[in-house]
Amino acid sequence: MSIFALQSPAGGFLDEELMHFNKVFDDWCVQFDNFEDASLVAQTLEQRESVNIVEITPLSYPKYFFFNLQGDIHATRQVEDKIICIVEPMMGANFRIAVCDIETKHVRLTKTRYRTVLSVEGAFAHFEKK
């Protein structure tokens, strides 16, 4: 499950009008089902050297695939058919671990709240599917 997008070296994603780069990848960004289609469109752009073709997956950009996932994502990893994320739900809030099911698109936040990055990273690194 992946799609392809056109991205500027500064990190923005090309919008559907093929004119502007959005900071966040969303429904308004141009998307392709395969690399070849993305390459064809990229070649038609005037500033071709400033556009990269990137693959968007649930692991690389979980917010696009899991609409219920809110907050800032600090890290992701895959455990079997789940994407596990370190999430800061709101700026300054305690960190949480989100478990995102690839098949059902269901997002579950664990009950434990972590005050520091070090404590959540330890739990994240040793997270097992439960």
pLDDT per position as a tens digit, 30-68:
999 999 999 999 888 876 667 899 999 999 889 889 989
- The total domain count for the chain is 2
Q: What is the C-alpha to C-alpha distance for residues 122 and 106, in angstroms, rounded to an integer?
A: 24
Cα torsion 8, 12, 13, 19 to 10°: value is -80
Task: Please check whether residues 87 and 118 belong to one and the same domain.
Answer: yes
Domain span at residue 104?
A: 62-125
Instruction: Indicate whether 130 belongs to any domain.
Output: no
Rounded to two decimals, what is the model's pTM? Answer: 0.77
Task: Please check whether residues 45 and 72 belong to one and the same domain.
Answer: no
Give percent of the chain with pLDDT exceeding 70.
Answer: 96
| CA-wise closest residue to 53 among 17, 102, 3 | 3
